[in-house]
Amino acid sequence: MNEGLVECVPNFSEGKNIETIEEICNSINHVKGVTLLDVDSSEDFNRTVITFVGSPKSVLEAAINCAKKGIELIDMTKHSGEHARMGAVDVVPFIPINNSTMNECVSLAEEFAKKIGNEMQIPVYLYAKAAKSPERILLPNIRKGEYEGLNQKIMENEWIPDEGPQKFVPKSGATATGARSVLIAYNVNLNTNDKSEANKIAGLIRTSGVLIKDDQGNKILDEFGKPKRKKGKFPELQAAGWMYDKKTAQVSMNLLDYNKTGMHTIIEEIKKEAAKQNLEVTAGELVGLIPLNALIDSGKFYHNNPDSASIEELVDSAVDGLMLNKLDLFDKNKRIIEWAAK
């Protein structure tokens, strides 16, 4: 049996300084047995998402290398951007692809957390399948309050880091690492510059839904004192309203399981909700890479005769239907994990 293939998708709080981004990428490329698949930077988000694959041992080495370089070069005291973040190296997930298991990726995350926490002396949290408590499974729970609230949050007993010191490190903030299934970061742009319009739609479709409030706008609490929520329409979906640029609001999403909630289902629902607000969907955006099967599923929805279509034709139909070619050329051979890793 071939050695397992693991994917790693670290997110860095730097999307403007090309030299810094190149140095981080170089620290990955120097590791034998690792293939750098994608580097996606956003100046407005001031964030870079890097995707690489390889054997478990090689991926771990590359993840440690690039995290150390990011911690060395990025200064969070000078950082600002649209995307939620809590640290210079914000999150480092390990994902099983071929002939690898979730348990292996949990072990990689634990080893990464211990190494970075101890050697770089920054707080590290374990999330998703590597989480040590239910409160830490979801990344938004760990990131809540973001970098600006970390100084106070980290001193609370329930937010003692899993590795590294229990202290606020102004230059670097904190890092989260974990093991998860393939996550698809898919955003949909609207023809408005009002972020609240995108946030309304996000609240309707995301799994967590929205807070229930009374006529005065106050949260309604349940018998345990927790805010009541009206659940959203789709499972395994995170969503929020962000700004793509100064003129364009977008519904920014993470699909945690595309088999339960596909991209075509989401964009079609966003079109309906946008129309109710007299808005239109103008483009779709994929951050990072995507599994081939996710595009095939959407291609079957959009193709006129999916039963007789080739895989290439289904992919083309998906790209068109999901509006992935509106903002820039969608290079299938670089954006589809299985094709990029060949």
Query: Which residues are tagged catalytic?
Result: 83
Q: Are 165 and 173 in contact (CB under 8 A)?
A: no
Chain centroid to CA 338: 19
Q: Enumerate the β-bridge partners of residue 50.
A: 39
DSSP state of 215: T
How many CB atoms are located within 10 Å of the residue 167 CB?
12
What is the helix (H) or strand (E) element at residue 111, kind and residue range? helix 102-120
Nearest one of 182, 184, 36, 179 to 94, comparing CA atoms: 179
The shares of helix, strand and coil residues in the chain, as percent rounded to the nearest 5, are 40, 25, 35
Please give the Cα distance from 330 to 285 (Å, whole number). 10
- Three-class SS of residue 196? helix
DSSP string for residues in 50-87: EEEEE-HHHHHHHHHHHHHHHHHH--GGG---SS--SB
Please give the Cα distance from 270 to 239 (Å, whole number). 11
Extract the tokens encoding 267: 């964009």
Q: Are 12 and 92 in contact (CB under 8 A)?
A: no
Chain centroid to CA 311: 27
Residue positions counted in the chain: 342
209: left (phi over 0), alpha (psi -120 to 50) or beta: left
Extract the tokens encoding 21: 């981004």
